[in-house]
């Protein structure tokens, strides 16, 4: 067995290629490419966050109810949405500007385009019309807003955005805020005050599915104000739209309401900071389509969400969604898998930029590592030749040089080298013999022939 094992060991010295040298040559390059790709994966297009904060609105408001729907919709994609109650649009805008929330419901007319751009805000789309509801106690006879003078009307806290909007509406009617008593209670306590008769009216802006709207429309003794000049308001206030509350829409059997009501309505908009992750924009817009895309009291199928009806610049990804639909991959696979494959393009670009130049380094490095096993022994041969020059044929020194050459040859015979580079190994061995012959020739030139024969014997 030992002779066979020895023969196999010698055969293994000559292989098609050296795996060890291949790994050593390619290792640094592969590690460099991998490190740079990982860096590109996380820095160029980072992973979407798995938790976001959404500013909603007051208790029992439409914003609060809608926030719960977004929590459920995003939970399907394993993204946690934390709802942050607020007074309304103005406070939501302030929280966005302060970086305290990621996304918020904001009413149109709450800001201006230049201001939104300066603050770095983007719209994810308009969600639904949000009519202005002016509920009055039935004994109060008001057909025109000019008749509100001297009455107690609650318009809500400044953070809702309604006071600013209602003052604009009053101004169009020549009514000054000082002409009436304007309360600043939140909607729920203000409703209690209205029902108790301590105030004459209550105005707020909300979607028709808000609990307060549904309750007040069906409460005896409470009357909804009819904006008969709604079309005129929309021409004077561009962020407003004219909507009609159809007769019987609340309860057909009881004929509630008993007539058509004309209302003015801003639109609710989903607003985010401009640094929001693009993948989250896609996901929120898709959720908005599922939540708001159907028919409603004031909208047709597919009318919302929309890139229209907002003064805030629409995010690029949202505008693309409204034009072309959801990203191709997200139509056929989960959000996280689609996002992963989308982000892999970043890695592909990084690979294309790195593989080609670095691949030119690997082959020469591999060749150099193989040939260096042979070439380093030429330094030893050169040392022997230099010592031969100084030995001047001295037999003792020459014998030492021959012994060193034998040792070098023994070590060279143990070198493992691929077949493609075997010519270098055989060339080294022939050069060892060449130097050995030079040493012997030097000995022959310095020692008499008979002495040489004796030394040889």
Q: What percent of the chain has pLDDT over 70?
A: 81
313 lies in the same domain as 439: no
Q: What percent of the chain has pLDDT over 90?
A: 40
DSSP code at position 10: H
What are 43's two structure tokens? 């820095």
C-alpha closest to that of 351 among 10, 5, 44, 13:
44
pLDDT tens, residue by residue, 144-193: 999 999 999 999 998 888 898 999 999 999 999 999 999 999 988 999 99
Q: What value does the CA radius of gyration of the chain take, rounded to a whole number of Å?
A: 43
| pLDDT value of residue 8 | 45
At residue 37 the predicted structure's pLDDT band, cuts being 50, 70 and 90, is low
| pLDDT value of residue 200 | 95
Helix or strand or coil: residue 262?
A: strand
344 lies in the same domain as 435: no
| pLDDT value of residue 225 | 96
Contact 108, 80 (CB under 8 A): no
For 237-243, what is the mean pLDDT? 89
210 lies in the same domain as 289: no
| pLDDT value of residue 392 | 77
274 lies in the same domain as 240: no
For residue 178, which phi and psi values (nearest 5 degrees)? -75, -15
In a domain, 35, yes or no: no
pLDDT tens, residue by residue, 248-282: 988 899 998 999 999 999 999 999 999 998 888 98
| pLDDT value of residue 328 | 65
Helix or strand or coil: residue 139?
A: coil
| pLDDT value of residue 242 | 93
Residue 128: pLDDT above 50? yes
Residue 377: pLDDT above 80? yes
55 lies in the same domain as 167: no
Domain C-terminal end among 328, 359, 390: 359
CA gap 355, 347 in Å, rounded = 11
Torsional sign, CA 404, 409, 414, 418:
positive
In a domain, 39, yes or no: no
Total number of domains constituting the chain: 3
Residue 304: pLDDT above 50? yes
Residue 352: pLDDT above 80? no
The percent of the chain in helix, strand and coil, each rounded to the nearest 5, is 55, 15, 30
Instruction: Give the angle subtended at the CA of 246 by the CAs of 240 and 247, to the nearest 5°.
Output: 145
From 47-61, 171-185, 323-337, the region with the lowest mean pLDDT: 323-337
C-alpha closest to that of 239 among 317, 158, 133, 161:
161
Q: Which residue would you say has higher pLDDT here, 45 or 89?
A: 89
The arrangement of strands across the sheet holding 181-183 comes to: 181-183, 152-154, 201-205, 132-137, 222-224
In a domain, 321, yes or no: yes
In angstroms, what CA-CA distances link 298 with 175, 204, 207, 241?
29, 17, 9, 10
Q: Which of 200-209, 329-338, 347-356, 446-455 is most confident?
A: 200-209
From 2-11, 200-209, 252-261, the region with the lowest mean pLDDT: 2-11
In angstroms, what CA-CA distances link 104 with 55, 284, 406?
4, 12, 85
Burial 27-38 (b: 16+ CB within 10 A, else e): eebeeebeebbe
* Residue 54 burial (10 A CB sphere; 0-12, 13-18, 19+): buried
Sequence-separated (6 or more) residues with CB below 8 Å from residue 398: 388, 391, 439, 440, 442, 443
Residue 130: pLDDT above 50? yes
From 237-241, 328-332, 444-448, the region with the lowest mean pLDDT: 328-332
* DSSP per position, 63-103: HHHHHHHHHHHHHTTT-EEEEE--SSHHHHHHHHHTTS-SE
Arithmetic mean of pLDDT over the chain: 83
In a domain, 397, yes or no: yes
In a domain, 91, yes or no: yes
149 lies in the same domain as 187: yes
| pLDDT value of residue 442 | 84
C-alpha closest to that of 61 among 152, 186, 158:
186
In a domain, 10, yes or no: yes
Number of helices (H), then strands (E), belonging to the chain: the values are 16, 12
181 lies in the same domain as 242: yes
Sequence-separated (6 or more) residues with CB below 8 Å from residue 448: none
107 lies in the same domain as 186: no
For 424-428, what is the mean pLDDT? 84
| pLDDT value of residue 296 | 81
CA gap 292, 69 in Å, rounded = 10
At residue 21 the predicted structure's pLDDT band, cuts being 50, 70 and 90, is low
Q: Give the pairing type, strands 201-205 and 152-154.
A: parallel
Domain C-terminal end among 218, 239, 265: 265
C-alpha closest to that of 201 among 255, 251, 241, 162:
162
Residue 112: pLDDT above 90? no
In a domain, 229, yes or no: yes
145 lies in the same domain as 250: yes
CA gap 25, 23 in Å, rounded = 5
Domain C-terminal end among 359, 390, 423: 359
CA gap 346, 348 in Å, rounded = 5
| pLDDT value of residue 195 | 94
DSSP code at position 297: S
136 lies in the same domain as 256: yes
For 222-247, what is the mean pLDDT? 93
Contacts 24+ apart (CB under 8 A), 251-254: 251/218
77 lies in the same domain as 191: no
DSSP code at position 208: T
At residue 301 the predicted structure's pLDDT band, cuts being 50, 70 and 90, is confident
Element (H, E) at 290: helix 278-292
CA gap 277, 257 in Å, rounded = 44
| pLDDT value of residue 312 | 92
Sequence-separated (6 or more) residues with CB below 8 Å from residue 457: none
| pLDDT value of residue 394 | 84
In a domain, 376, yes or no: yes
In angstroms, what CA-CA distances link 85 with 12, 92, 106, 305, 437?
75, 9, 13, 23, 96
| pLDDT value of residue 444 | 82
Q: Which residue would you say has higher pLDDT here, 417 or 268?
A: 268
What are 383's two structure tokens? 């040392």
For 131-142, what is the mean pLDDT? 91
| pLDDT value of residue 449 | 46
Measured between its terminal Cα atoms, the distance across the chain in Å is 37
Q: Which of 56-60, 215-219, 410-414, 446-450 is most confident?
A: 215-219
| pLDDT value of residue 16 | 47
Contact 96, 272 (CB under 8 A): yes
Domain of residue 254, residue span: 131-265
Residue 52: pLDDT above 70? yes
DSSP code at position 200: S
Domain harbouring 208, CATH code = 3.40.190.10
CA gap 96, 103 in Å, rounded = 7
| pLDDT value of residue 34 | 73
352 lies in the same domain as 366: no
| pLDDT value of residue 246 | 92
Q: Note the pTM of the prediction, 2 decimals.
A: 0.62
For 20-38, what is the mean pLDDT? 66
């Amino acid at each position: 067995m030992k002779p066979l094992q020895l023969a196999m060991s010698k055969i293994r010295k000559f292989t098609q290629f050296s795996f060890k040298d291949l790994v050593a040559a390619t290792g640094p390059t592969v590690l460099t490419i991998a490190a740079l790709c990982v860096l590109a994966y996380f820095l160029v297009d980072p992973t979407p966050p798995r938790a976001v904060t959404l500013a909603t609105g007051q208790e029992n408001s439409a914003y609060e109810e809608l926030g719960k729907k977004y929590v459920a919709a995003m939970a399907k994609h394993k993204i946690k949405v934390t709802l942050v109650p607020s007074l309304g649009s103005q406070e939501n805008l302030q929280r966005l500007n302060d970086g305290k929330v990621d996304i918020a419901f904001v009413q149109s007319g709450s800001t201006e385009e230049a201001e939104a751009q300066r603050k770095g805000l983007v719209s994810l789309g308009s969600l639904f019309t949000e009519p202005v509801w002016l509920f009055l106690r039935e004994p109060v006879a008001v057909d025109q807003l000019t008749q509100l003078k001297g009455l107690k009307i609650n318009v809500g806290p400044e953070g809702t955005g309604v006071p600013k909007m209602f003052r604009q509406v009053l101004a169009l009617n020549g009514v000054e805020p000082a002409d009436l008593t304007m309360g600043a209670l939140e909607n729920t306590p203000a409703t209690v005050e209205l029902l108790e008769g301590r105030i004459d009216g209550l105005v707020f802006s909300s979607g028709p599915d808000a609990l307060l709207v549904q309750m007040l429309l069906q409460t005896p003794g409470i009357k909804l104000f009819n904006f008969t000049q709604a079309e005129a308001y929309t021409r004077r206030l561009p962020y407003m739209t004219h909507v009609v509350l159809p007769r019987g829409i609340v309860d057909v059997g009881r004929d509630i309401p008993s007539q058509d009501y004309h209302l003015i309505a801003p639109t609710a908009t989903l607003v985010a900071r401009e640094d929001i992750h693009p993948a989250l924009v896609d996901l929120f817009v898709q959720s908005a389509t599922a939540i708001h895309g159907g028919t409603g009291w004031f909208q047709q199928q597919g009318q919302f969400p929309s890139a229209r009806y907002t003064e805030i610049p629409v995010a690029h990804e949202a505008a693309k969604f409204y034009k072309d639909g959801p990203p191709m991959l997200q139509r056929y696979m989960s959000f996280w898998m689609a996002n992963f494959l989308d982000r892999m393009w970043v890695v592909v670009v990084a690979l294309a930029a790195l593989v080609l130049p670095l691949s030119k380094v690997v082959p020469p490095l591999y060749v150099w590592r193989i040939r260096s096993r042979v070439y380093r022994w030429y330094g030893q041969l050169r040392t022997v030749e230099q010592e031969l020059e100084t030995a001047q044929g001295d037999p003792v020194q020459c014998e030492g040089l021959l012994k060193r050459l034998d040792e070098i040859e023994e070590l060279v015979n143990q070198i493992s080298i691929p077949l493609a580079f075997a010519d270098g190994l055989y060339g080294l061995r022939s050069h060892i013999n060449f130097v050995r012959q030079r040493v012997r020739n030097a000995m022959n030139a310095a020692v008499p022939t008979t002495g040489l024969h004796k030394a040889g014997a």
